[in-house]
Amino acid sequence: MIGDAAHGTLSHSGNGAAQAIKDRSVLTGIFLRLTSLDEVEAAFKTYGLVRIPRSQKIVEITRSFGRLYSRDPHEIVLDKMKAGMREGGIYTAEWTWRLKSRAPLMPLRDSKGFNLMFEEGALISEV
């Protein structure tokens, strides 16, 4: 449901615990607003809209890091390796850049019509 159990990431990017924390934050934010069991399916759809795109990108980056780490050192093209690690590292640490630049948050209307504000796949506030 959350973290590695939901996203199946490997350990090569060190991001599994962070994903679990973000999953929990989003699920909690959504489920605290439910008033009946009839809303559970819509709540999970909202969760998927928020978390799946980012968590899948983390899984892809982690797999590419794993392929890189398991290569024969004689086969590694150093410039290509640095470029790949830079791209993945920038994406996984993107929240620091967003905080510095104060990029806009992502609004999303949840299953009950609440206007929720998400950043980096984590619930920030209700609008």
- Domain range for 62: 4-126
Dump pLDDT digits (tens) for 73-108: 676 677 776 776 666 665 555 644 454 444 344 445
Check: CB of residue 98 under 8 Å from CB of residue 32. Answer: no
Q: Is it the case that residue 63 has pLDDT exceeding 70?
A: yes
Number of domains observed in the structure of the chain: 1
Q: Which pTM was predicted?
A: 0.56
In the chain the beta strands, taken as DSSP E runs, fall at 106-109, 115-119, 122-126
Dump pLDDT digits (tens) for 11-56: 656 677 778 888 888 888 888 888 889 888 888 888 888 888 878 8
How many whole angstroms separate alpha carbon 88 and alpha carbon 57?
9
